Amino acid sequence: TLLDDAGRSVSLASFRGRVAVVLVFYPMDETPGCRKQLCEIRDNWKEFERRGVAVFGVNPGSASSHKKFRDNHRMPFPLLVDEGQKVARAYAASGIVVRRTVYAIGRDGRIAFAERGKPEPAHVLAALSAQP
């Protein structure tokens, strides 16, 4: 459970059995690579929404930094504050800076996709579609 950029509590367990979830671990707000990655998801948002997939950006930055980043780029999904990289550590994405890593978790709570770097949104969605 983490707080989002608006101070709301978000618990991964609350999605199990209801919707698939994509976690995008990214190093820092407002850097070119992170901006590009999260904006690609924003640009494909209608498809994520159509398939009922919840998306969360995750890094240890502050809620105010996340809010500014999200507002600047009109991201329709929350950015979560992973203070101390606790969740990043659980998903093998921690380091001196968070390692860019994407996980897609099916409705059943199982990991359907995990990849370092910046996978195409279509690849992430395809992995979720392949689940029973």
Which active-site residues does the annotation give?
34
How does strand 111-116 pair with strand 53-59?
Answer: unpaired
Query: What is the side-by-side order of every strand in the sheet holding 53-59?
Result: 9-10, 2-4, 79-81, 53-59, 20-25, 101-105, 111-116
User: Which one-letter amino acid corresponds to residue 62?
Assistant: S
How far apart are alpha carbons 54 and 36 in whole angstroms? 19
Structure tokens at 100: 């860019």
Collapsed DSSP state (helix, strand, coil) of residue 47: helix
Running DSSP on this structure, what letter comes out for residue 23?
E
How far apart are alpha carbons 45 and 62 in whole angstroms? 24
